[in-house]
């Protein structure tokens, strides 16, 4: 049941981000999912959680829809933090 809830939250967030896009871009929805996954990626080092994907996303310099892509990465980071504390 939780899986369905979190999937709907993810789809809703990506839809809201897509709706707030600044420019039309090919395959933007897939790119937003990619930035979300990148933002949610972490490295666990002896109990110390390092948000490696979010750090990498800070160095990416997209040419179009910068704020929307950054928002997707931040949303991924927030979901990673929630998932780490919920389990």
Which pLDDT tens digit goes with each residue over 33-74? 999 999 999 999 998 999 999 999 999 999 999 999 999 999
Domain that holds residue 51: 2-86
Per-residue confidence (pLDDT) for residue 62, from 0 to 100: 92
Q: d(Cα 33, Cα 39) in Å, to the nearest integer?
A: 10
Q: Can you give the pTM of this predicted structure?
A: 0.89
Which pLDDT tens digit goes with each residue over 1-34? 888 998 999 999 999 999 999 999 999 999 999 9
Q: d(Cα 12, Cα 45) in Å, to the nearest integer?
A: 32
- Long-range CB contacts (within 8 A, 24+) of 82-87: 83/40, 84/42, 84/49
From residue 59, how far is each of 37, 66, 72, 82 by CA, in Å?
16, 12, 15, 24
Beta bridge partners of 50: 43
The count of domains in the chain is 1
């Amino acid at each position: 049941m939780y899986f369905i809830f979190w999937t709907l939250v993810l789809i809703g967030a990506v839809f809201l981000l897509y709706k707030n896009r600044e420019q039309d871009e090919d395959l933007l929805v897939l790119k937003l999912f990619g930035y979300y996954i990148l933002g949610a990626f972490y490295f666990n080092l002896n109990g110390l959680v390092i948000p490696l994907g979010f750090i990498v996303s800070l160095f990416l310099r997209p040419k179009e829809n910068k704020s929307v892509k950054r928002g997707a990465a931040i949303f991924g980071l927030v979901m990673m933090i929630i998932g780490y504390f919920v389990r």
